[in-house]
Amino acid sequence: MEYYLQLVINGLVVGSIYSLVALGFVIIYKATKVVNFAQGELVMVGAYICFALTVQFQLPFLAAFFLTLGFSVVFGLAIERVILRPMVGEPIISVIMITVGLSTVLKSLVQLFWGTQIRVYPSVLPQEPVFIAGLPVSPVYIAAFVLALVLFGIFSLFFKYSRYGVAMRATAYDQTAAASMGIGIKNIFALSWCIAAVVSSIGGVILGNINGINSQLGHLGLKVFPAVILGGLDSLLGAAVGGVVIGILENVLDGAAKEFLGLSGFKEVAAFIVLVIILMIRPYGLFGTHEIERV
Amino acid sequence: MQTKCGVFFESYREEARLLVGGFQKSRFAAFFLLLLASPWFLNNYHVSVLIFINIAIIAAVSLNVLTGACGQISLGHGAFVGVGAYAAAYFGFQGVPFLPGLLLAGVAAAIVGAFFGIPSLRLKGIYLAISTLAAQLILEYVFLHWDAVTGGSNGMPVDSPSIAGFAFDTDRSMFYLTLFFAVLAVLVASNVMRTRFGRAFIAIRDHYLSAEIVGVDLFRFKLLAFAFSSFMAGVAGALWAHYTMYITPEPFAITLSISYLAMIIIGGLGSVQGAVFGAIFITILPEALGYLADGLSGVFPEVSSYLLAAKEGVFGLVLVLFLIFEPEGLNHRWKLFKSYWKLYPFAH
C-alpha cells in the first residue's frame, strides 16, 4: 500500500509538471488552433538556458530564473513571428509538421551547445525530505507542486478578468468576430506563444531541479498529448486535471505492471494506451469544447 | 490531365495513359536504363544508398495514399514499416521462404494498420494524428518488450532473400530486387489513384460528408486506405529487414514516421511522383551533409563535427523552410520547371 502511495505522490509531482507543459499547449491551441509538437522542446530550451545562466555564468538562481523567463518571452515571440506567422491558413498537416521540424531544430541546437549528457542543477532547496502522512517527500517536489498550482491560479484569473485574457478567449472563440471588434489577432497569437514559452520554461527549470536535464527532455512533450486529450484540448482546467491524472495513472500502472506482470518500462506506454481509450470514448476530453466533428 | 499544347486524345484509353507522347516515353526509358546500369559504375556504398531510396520510395508512396490522397494523417507509419520488418524476420525464422514471407509481412502490417485505423472512423485531423502517434509509441514498446517474437532490444538476425534458389546476397542484386518492388509500388499506387478506390479516397479527403452522400462507404474506405497503405509499408519493412540482415527497434521510432511524412510533404502531398521525389531528397540529405562535412573538414576542421552533430537539425530546418517557402513541394517546382522550358522564351 505504501508502495502505491509513494507512486501516487511521485505521479502527482510529475503530473504537475505535465500540467504546466499542457497549460502552454492549451494556451496555444485555444488562441491559434495550432497543435504544438515542439512543446517539450520549449521546456528543454528553458531548462538549458537557466542551467547555462546558473552554472556557466555563475548567476544566483533567482536572477537566472527571471532572466530565463525574459528569454522565453523573446523566444516565444520569435518563434511565432518567424515560423508560425507564414502558416496561417495552411492545412493542419503542414502546421503539425512545421512544429515537428521546429522541435528537431531546437533539439539539435541544444545538443550542439550542451552535448547529450545529463546536467545537474546546483541544489536550491534543502535536501532533507519532509514527511507527509509518514512518507518522505523532497522539498523540490512540494515546490514544484505549489508552483504549478500558483501558475494555474494566475492564468485562470488572467483569462477570466484581464483585458488580454478576455481578448484571447474571444479570438479562440471566433477569430473573424474578434478581429472586427478591434482585437489585434496577430498580437494575440504572439502573446499566446509567449505565455506558452514562459510556462514551459518554468516547467523545465523545476524539472532541472528535480532530476537534472539532458537533451532527451523534449520527449516530455509527447506526454502532454494524453494529458490534454484527457482534459480537453482547449480547457485550462482540463490541462491541470489531465496532467495530474496522467502523471498518477502512469506511475501507478507502471508499478502495477512491474508487480503483477513483470513488465518493465510500462511507464513509457501506459499514458498512450489510456490516450487511445479516451479518444475512443470521449475525444473532446473531460472539459473540452464539445465541437469535435464526428465522422 | 495537364498535357502539352497540341496533344489531343482520341480515346479514353489514350487519356488514361501514365506516359503521354514519344518524348516523355523516351525520356523515361533513358532514365530507367541509367538507373538499371547504375550499380555497375557506382561503388557499394552508393548502391546501398540507392537501395534505401528504393525502400523509402515504397514507404513514402504508401503513406501518400493514406495521408496525401485520403487525408488521414498518420504519425505511425514508421511503426507499420517496423511491423513488416519484424514479421518478415519472424516468418523467415519459422522457415517461410522469401516471397510468401514478404506477402505475410505485408498482411501483418495491414492488419495492425487497419486496427490502429479504427479510431479514424470517429476522429479527424489533429485527433487522428495524436491517436496514430499513440499507435507509434505503443508499437515501439511492443517491439522492445515482446521478446519471444521480436528479440527485444537485442534484435533479430534476418537472412538474405532468395527466390527459387537465387540468393540476393550482394548489394547489386538487392538493388535490382528493391528497385523491382519500388517500381511495382509506384505503379500500384498510381493505378489505385486512378480507380474508384483512389477517387473515393480523394473524395473522403476533400469532403467526407459529400463523399458519403455520393455513396462512399466511409467505414470501408478509410479502413481500406489504412490497410492498403500499411500493407505496402509492411513490404517496405520486410525488404529493409532482409537488406540490413539485422533488425532492432531503434530505426522504427517516431523519427522514421516523421521523415516519411516529411518525404510526402517536401515532395508534394497527394502526388505519387512527389512522394518519389521526397523519398529521394530526404534519403540523400544526410548523405549529402556527410559529404559536405567531409569536404569542409579540410578547410575548417571544426565545422564538420558541428555539421555532423546537426544532421537532425538540418532535417528539421529543411522541413520548416520547405513548408514556409515551397508548401506545394518539389513536384510543383518540377512542373514549373517543365512549363518554363515548354514556354521558353515566352514566360507567360
Model pLDDT, residue B303: 67
Expressed in angstroms, the distance from the first to the final Cα of chain A is 44
Interface test with A, best of B320, B322, B326 (most A CBs within 10 A): B320
Scanning every residue of chain B, which has its alpha carbon at the shortest distance from the alpha carbon of A264? Answer: B145
Interface test with B, best of A100, A111, A258, A290 (most B CBs within 10 A): A100
CA torsion A123-A124-A127-A131 (nearest 10°) is -140
Residue among A14, A5, A86, A18 at smallest CA distance from A229: A18
User: What is the C-alpha to C-alpha distance for residues A174 and A171, in angstroms, rounded to an integer?
Assistant: 5
Can you tell me the ipTM of this complex?
A: 0.86
Scanning every residue of chain A, which has its alpha carbon at the shortest distance from the alpha carbon of B71? Answer: A93
Provide the residue range defining the domain that includes A102: 1-122+139-281
Interface touch B141/A292, C-beta < 8 Å: no
Interface touch B130/A104, C-beta < 8 Å: no
Domain ranges of chain B: 43-343
Those residues of chain A that have pLDDT short of 70 are 133, 290-295
- Residues 275 to 294 of A: which have CB under 8 A from any B CB? 275-276, 279-280, 283, 292-294
Structural domain contains residue A177: yes
Residue among B309, B277, B308, B315 at smallest CA distance from B292: B308
Question: Which residue bears the cell 521540424?
Answer: A101
User: Torsions phi, psi of A89, nearest 5?
Assistant: 85, 0
Structural domain contains residue A163: yes
- 10 Å CB burial of residue B340 (0-12, 13-18, 19+) is exposed
Model pLDDT, residue B217: 87
pLDDT string in tens for chain B (348-residue length): 456 666 777 887 777 777 777 777 888 888 888 888 888 888 888 888 999 999 999 999 999 999 988 888 889 999 999 999 999 999 988 888 888 889 999 999 999 999 988 888 877 778 888 889 999 999 998 988 888 778 777 888 887 887 877 777 788 888 999 999 999 999 999 888 888 898 999 998 888 888 888 888 888 899 999 999 999 999 999 999 999 888 888 889 888 999 999 999 998 888 888 999 999 999 998 888 888 777 777 777 666 667 666 778 888 898 899 988 888 888 888 888 888 887 777 766
Distance from CA of B104 to the nearest CA of A (A): 27
Instruction: Indicate which CATH number applies to the domain containing A60.
Output: 1.10.3470
Helix B77-93 and helix B218-244, axial crossing angle in degrees, nearest 10: 60
Question: In this complex, is the C-beta atom of A88 within 8 Å of any C-beta atom belonging to chain B?
Answer: no
The CATH code of the domain at B43-343 is 1.10.3470
Model pLDDT, residue B304: 64
Model pLDDT, residue A75: 93
Model pLDDT, residue B346: 75
Please check whether residue B288 is in contact with residue B118, taking contact to mean a CB–CB distance below 8 angstroms. no
Distance from CA of B69 to the nearest CA of A (A): 13
- E strands, A222-276, where? none
Question: In this complex, is the C-beta atom of A295 within 8 Å of any C-beta atom belonging to chain B?
Answer: yes
Question: Which residue bears the cell 552508393?
Answer: B46
Structural domain contains residue A134: no
Cell reading at B156: 533479430
Name the residue facing A109 among B122, B134, B313 (closest C-beta): B313
Q: From the centroid of its chain, how far is CA B287?
A: 18
Residues of A in contact with B258 (CB under 8 A): 97, 100, 104
Distance from CA of A212 to the nearest CA of B (A): 22
Residue among A222, A196, A168, A231 at smallest CA distance from A30: A168
Please check whether residue B233 is in contact with residue B63, taking contact to mean a CB–CB distance below 8 angstroms. yes
Distance from CA of B137 to the nearest CA of A (A): 7
Positive or negative, the Cα torsion across B129, A72, A22, B134?
Answer: positive
Residue among B342, B177, B202, B175 at smallest CA distance from B272: B202
- Residues 217 to 236 of A: which have CB under 8 A from any B CB? 222, 225-226, 229, 233
Interface touch B316/A108, C-beta < 8 Å: yes
**Within 13 Å, how many C-alpha atoms sit on residue B69's CB side?**
33
Model pLDDT, residue A295: 46
- Looking at the 3D structure of chain A, how many domains does it have? 1
Distance from CA of A261 to the nearest CA of B (A): 12
Model pLDDT, residue B1: 46
Structural domain contains residue A127: no
Question: In this complex, is the C-beta atom of A257 within 8 Å of any C-beta atom belonging to chain B?
Answer: no
Model pLDDT, residue A279: 84
Question: In this complex, is the C-beta atom of A78 within 8 Å of any C-beta atom belonging to chain B?
Answer: no
Beta bridge partners of B157: B246
Q: From the centroid of its chain, how far is CA A38?
A: 10
Distance from CA of A121 to the nearest CA of B (A): 25
Interface touch A93/B131, C-beta < 8 Å: no
Question: In this complex, is the C-beta atom of A102 within 8 Å of any C-beta atom belonging to chain B?
Answer: yes
Model pLDDT, residue B309: 67
Model pLDDT, residue A291: 62
Model pLDDT, residue B271: 86
User: What is the C-alpha to C-alpha distance for residues A245 and A237, in angstroms, rounded to an integer?
Assistant: 12
Which residues have CB under 8 Å from B241's CB, separation 6+?
A: B84, B85, B86, B88, B89, B92, B158, B247
Question: In this complex, is the C-beta atom of A177 within 8 Å of any C-beta atom belonging to chain B?
Answer: no
Scanning every residue of chain A, which has its alpha carbon at the shortest distance from the alpha carbon of B319? Answer: A101
